[in-house]
């Protein structure tokens, strides 16, 4: 899939910034509890839906979509999900680190694949570095809460200022890559100034909101909605209201199953908050791996 045309990208950027400003404004009126409830609602609705059509994306570029082919893809998909979940519960510290790195790559890929064509030898490491910068800023600007959550989840005590240093390191490397891209790929300084502004807005959101609310804002507004847009264009050729309805309809069964599963867990584990959070993170990690693979395949697919 190629980068988005300038008109669509401009509208997407405007939409993202307007809604980001709205979240900054509304943060001042929400209690921590309200932010948490709204965050989970957004993550489990829009967040889950944006990754619920992976099978359709896999079948999009195949000439034949027989029942056997569909069942084969679903089987592989389920095996990857269960395997990831098993890894998470048996090696939780290592799996959490891998989850952050993989999610970082996935976030970076979604942001940059629609904006700039980067050579294959650079894009994987750059996308990962950009995503790690996002996570580092999120954790650094909510450091006390982040360290406590990670300790509860993995039993690992992280040193103070760790995320400050990872922010500096990843930020410095991102700047080096951007300097190279400016010289050899895209010499319009306005483009890079805009990207710097985006980072500043994201950092302001992270600083203003609680950890879960800050993550939800980025995950939904900066990642999931742009991902939905690119998936609609890839599957249907354009992003229109009727196609969005068709997309949601085709992902409804997957979404209902995921929500029912999580609601049942919450019902039985509501008195065991730590265990519920661990399972929720494992669930997100399990569906992130296959989704990230599918999206990479979509972005690297050349339009005929």
Answer for the pair 228, 45: CB distance below 8 angstroms, yes or no: no
**CA 57 vs CA 7, 50, 143, 293: distances in Å:** 24, 12, 37, 11
Answer for the pair 303, 1: CB distance below 8 angstroms, yes or no: yes
Phi, psi (deg, nearest 5) at residue 295: -70, -40
Answer for the pair 152, 93: CB distance below 8 angstroms, yes or no: no
**pLDDT tens for the 304 residues of the chain, in order:** 567 778 888 899 999 999 999 988 888 888 888 888 898 888 888 888 887 777 777 776 665 566 777 777 778 878 887 888 788 878 888 888 998 999 999 999 999 999 988 888 899 999 999 999 999 999 999 999 999 888 888 888 999 899 999 999 999 999 999 999 988 887 788 899 999 999 999 999 999 899 999 999 999 999 999 999 998 888 888 888 888 888 888 777 777 877 787 777 777 766 666 667 777 777 778 778 888 888 888 888 744 4
* C-beta contacts of 184-191 below 8 A and 24+ residues apart: 185/116, 185/117, 185/118, 186/116
Tell me the pLDDT tens digit for each residue of 28-85.
888 888 888 898 888 888 888 887 777 777 776 665 566 777 777 778 878 887 888 7
Burial environment of residue 246 by CB neighbours within 10 A (0 to 12, 13 to 18, 19 or more): middle
The Cα diameter of the chain in Å comes to 56
Burial 203-217 (b: 16+ CB within 10 A, else e): bebbebbbbbbbbbb
Closest CA to 83 of 288, 298, 297: 288
Q: Does residue 11 sit in helix, strand or coil? A: helix
Q: Does residue 302 sit in helix, strand or coil? A: coil
Cβ neighbours of residue 50 closer than 8 Å, sequence gap 6 or more: 223, 224, 225, 227, 228, 231
Residue 27 in tokens: 């943060």
Residue 123 in tokens: 């894009």
Burial environment of residue 195 by CB neighbours within 10 A (0 to 12, 13 to 18, 19 or more): middle
Q: What is the DSSP string of 184-217?
A: HT---HHHHHHHHHHHHHHHHHHHHS-HHHHHHH
């Amino acid at each position: 899939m190629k980068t988005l045309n300038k008109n669509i990208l401009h509208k997407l950027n405007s939409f993202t910034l307007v809604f980001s400003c709205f979240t900054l404004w509304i943060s001042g009126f929400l209690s921590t509890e309200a932010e948490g409830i709204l965050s989970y609602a957004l993550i489990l609705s829009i967040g889950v839906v944006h990754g619920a059509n992976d099978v359709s994306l896999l079948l999009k570029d195949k000439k034949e979509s027989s029942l056997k082919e569909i069942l084969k893809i679903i089987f592989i998909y389920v095996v990857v999900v269960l395997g990831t979940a098993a890894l998470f519960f048996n090696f939780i510290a290592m799996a959490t680190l891998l989850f952050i790195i993989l999610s970082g790559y996935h976030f970076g890929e979604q942001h940059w694949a629609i904006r700039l064509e980067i050579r294959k030898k650079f894009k994987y490491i750059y996308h990962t570095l950009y995503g790690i910068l996002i996570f580092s800023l999120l954790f650094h600007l909510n450091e006390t809460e982040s360290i406590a959550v990670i300790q509860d989840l993995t039993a690992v005590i992280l040193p103070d200022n760790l995320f400050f240093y990872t922010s500096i390191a990843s930020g410095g490397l991102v700047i080096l890559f951007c300097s190279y891209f400016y010289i050899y790929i895209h010499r319009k300084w306005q483009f890079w100034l805009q990207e710097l502004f985006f980072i500043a807005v994201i950092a302001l959101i992270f600083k203003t909101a609680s950890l879960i609310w800050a993550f939800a804002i980025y995950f939904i507004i900066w990642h999931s909605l742009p991902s939905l847009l690119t998936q609609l264009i890839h599957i249907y050729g354009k992003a229109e209201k009727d196609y969005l309805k068709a997309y949601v309809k085709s992902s409804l069964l997957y979404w209902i199953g995921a929500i029912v599963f999580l609601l049942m867990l919450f019902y039985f584990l509501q008195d065991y908050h730590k265990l519920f959070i661990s399972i929720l993170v494992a669930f997100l990690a399990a569906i992130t791996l296959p989704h990230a693979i599918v999206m990479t395949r979509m972005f690297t697919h050349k339009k005929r």
